[in-house]
Chain A
Amino acid sequence: MLNTSVAIRDIAKKLLDEKKVDLIIGFEKGSVPLRSTPCFVRSTSEADRLIWNVNCENNLAKYLPKTKERVGIVAKGCDVRSIIGLIKENQVTKEQVFIIGIPCKGMIDRRKIEAKLDGKEIIEAEEEDDTIILKGHNLRETIKKEEFLHNSCKTCTHRNPVIYDVLIGDKVVEDQAVDEYREVKEFEAQSHDERWQSFSDEVSKCIRCYACRNACPFCYCQECFVDSSQPQWIGKTTNLSNTAIFHIVRAFHIAGRCVDCGACDRACPMGIDLRRLTKKMEMDVKELFHYEAGINLEDVPPLATFNPDDPQEFIM
């Protein structure tokens, strides 16, 4: 990890020095253990803040839509696919973006670690190659990184950036054997009532903070449907009807665009399994349109285009 951090700093300084970019978006050390935080660097003197570790869980592509600056962006496999999607949707141009690609073996889910520690708090966390040493009051424990990865990382099939301007480190082995839709299929196999109950239980936890929406790079609408007052599509209260509609409609809005980066899931403070709907959307788009979001710059997003000889009539 140290080498990656140094390499990122070096490329950042070079890009800023040569005025190839106005801004580097990366990560710096967080203010509490097991956190890294987005970092915006505009001068070479600040570039030493940049780091890379197993806590760089945010999708920095979030900060790209509508930017006028030329940006050098630190991006792991999933983030790069988001950037491709944003380019295809004209939210940023390819020329504006210098992708500093990082092959990724997965990010740590700190909430899984907290659950395992059963209330004991971490004062310090030391990252090693495959493990993390956790220290706290009456606490010293070593955990294996691979046992505490985010769920979206466990089923990731694009760990290596599919496009990049520079790649930091060697490519990692892709997991070809993983059944990334296993949980979706298990959920689908349940009865209608079971699925509705399970879904209602999940979204009942929602406090409508919209962190899921705001963390997602593809939620960049000037006015989100939840904020519209003329007409008002959904109410402001947290009753099941309002909350369920928010999540269902958002899942449909990002269908065909979502790359399962997990940003929504990670942002949610109430631990709602947000990927249940989005992963199902992803599977359906693959089966119906043979399309995977963000793999290359050429494939046309199926839900954003129309052909006269499409099998179904327009919209219906």
Chain B
Amino acid sequence: MQELEIAKTEVVSLLNTLIRKYKVFAPVEQNGFITFQEIHSGSEAFLDYINSKKPPKEIFFPQSERLFSYNLSKGAGWGVEEPTLEEKQKIIFGIRPCDARSLVLLDNVFDGKLYKDPYYTDKRKNTTIIAIGCNQPGSTCFCTSLGGSPFSQDGSDLLLVDIGQKYIIQVVTKRGEKLAKEHNDVKKAEEHSLSLMRDTMETAEALIKSKIEVQKVTEKLDSMFDDPFWDLVSEKCLGCAICTYLCPTCYCFDITDEVTGQRGERVRTWDSCAFPNFTLQASGVNPRPSSKERLRQRIMHKFNYFVANHGMAACVGCGRCIKECPVNLDIQVILNSILNR
């Protein structure tokens, strides 16, 4: 692995250079919280943050996305138009390692063996991911329990480590290497910088107190489908979509047609298994009629079914669901309760 470095004072100018050639997304401060937006100047990037409110999955899998449009006027014929795909190369700068890992996880779904989702894969193909590791993991973070870490390289092309005056740039992929080498401000990392980097990484990892044996949870869940546990744990759930919409690895969606006048679109919108009518059939039958079945589905999907299909839990331990749940339904508490059953 190659290590390069850049002075923090040069980052704004680096971003400005990148903006000339690429569409650059970075964390910005808006309405009192952090969100990933396209920036038009390097100074807009706000890098002193724990994590964004909404996960950057929305850059590849937007909350509302037009699949195609059509003309309904008589004589228009079939007239289905696919949207033109974005040509310009993209960079996501300043994403956290957990969110970068989540993209690898989502690839399993949208870039499958049998079917590929072009809306997602096209965006993924032309995007370079530059992550910044977490010197100060959040209080609700538990990435290390899910095979991640504050400095995991999974899903990144370049991983930056903040060592005070500089960032060390860990080169992860050839794509990242090419990008890094294009810039004069990026130099080879000095040895003392590297030792500082190693200390920083060690300190940060030790700050994550939560250690949940997720593999054991997966095994336990094999025989827990009919356990009365689910009645108890789901009673306070409101059935809103906060945990699913703010989760970097949730991907359920709905497809509907929206028409205005004679023009219509088929759109894909985020949906949630927590909603009561997610599985409601036209006949009135609903296989998941109460919050018990729906919470069970969420947990079993993330920690058992997804593991069976893709070899990893559908969770990166970012902790957003814990932070934002209006009734403090804490996924770590649920996982520990499962282990103690």
Contacts and interface: CB of A to CB of B under 8 A. Distances in A.
Question: Do they bind each other?
Answer: yes
Contacts of A35: 328
Which of B33, B238, B269 has the largest count of A CB atoms less than 10 A from its CB?
B238
B238 A62 contact: yes
A271 B239 CA distance: 19
A115 B31 CA distance: 11
B186 to A, nearest CB: 28
A270 interface: yes
Given A38-B327, A237-B267, A207 B50 contact: no
A213 B31 CA distance: 22
Interface stretch (A79-87, A116-124, A170-178): A116-124
Given A36-B328, A39-B236, A210-B241, 5 more contacts: A32-B322, A38-B236, A38-B327, A40-B232, A227-B275
Interface in A1-37: 30-33, 35-37
A209 B245 contact: yes
Interface in A225-267: 227, 232, 235-239, 263, 266-267
Nearest to A268: B326
B242 interface: yes
A214 interface: yes
Contacts of B232: 40
A35 B235 CA distance: 18
Interface stretch (B9-17, B68-76, B133-141, B306-314): B133-141
A31 B332 contact: yes
Given A30-B328, A235-B258, A215 B240 contact: yes
Secondary structure class of chain A's binding surface, majority of residues: loop
Interface residues of B, number: 45
A182 interface: no
A267 B63 contact: no
A122 B240 contact: no
Contact of A119 (B48, B235, B277, B330): B48
Nearest to B282: A229
Contact of B236 (A31, A40, A227, A235): A40
A169 interface: no
A31 B333 contact: yes
A215 B326 contact: yes
Interface of A: 30-33, 35-40, 58, 62-63, 115, 119, 121-123, 136-137, 205, 207-211, 213-215, 223, 227, 232, 235-239, 263, 266-267, 269-271
B54 interface: yes
B77 interface: no
A211 B240 contact: yes
Contacts of A270: 31, 33, 53
B112 interface: no
B240 A31 contact: no
A238 B139 CA distance: 31
Contacts of A38: 235-236, 327
Interface of B: 31-33, 48-50, 53-54, 63-64, 136, 138-140, 232, 235-236, 238-242, 245-246, 254, 256, 258, 267, 269-272, 275-277, 322-324, 326-330, 332-333
Residue from B242, B245, B328 whose CB has the most chain A CB atoms within 10 Å: B328
Contacts of B326: 58, 211, 215, 263, 266-267
Given A121-B50, A236-B254, A207 B63 contact: yes
30 contacts: A31-B332, A31-B333, A32-B140, A32-B322, A32-B323, A37-B236, A37-B327, A40-B232, A58-B326, A119-B49, A121-B138, A137-B136, A207-B63, A207-B245, A208-B241, A209-B241, A210-B275, A211-B326, A213-B240, A214-B239, A215-B240, A236-B254, A236-B271, A237-B64, A237-B267, A237-B269, A238-B269, A239-B64, A269-B53, A269-B242
A137 B33 CA distance: 21
Given A37-B328, A207-B63, A267-B240, A121 B333 contact: no
Contacts of B50: 119, 121
Contacts of B33: 270-271
A270 B240 CA distance: 14
B138 to A, nearest CB: 6
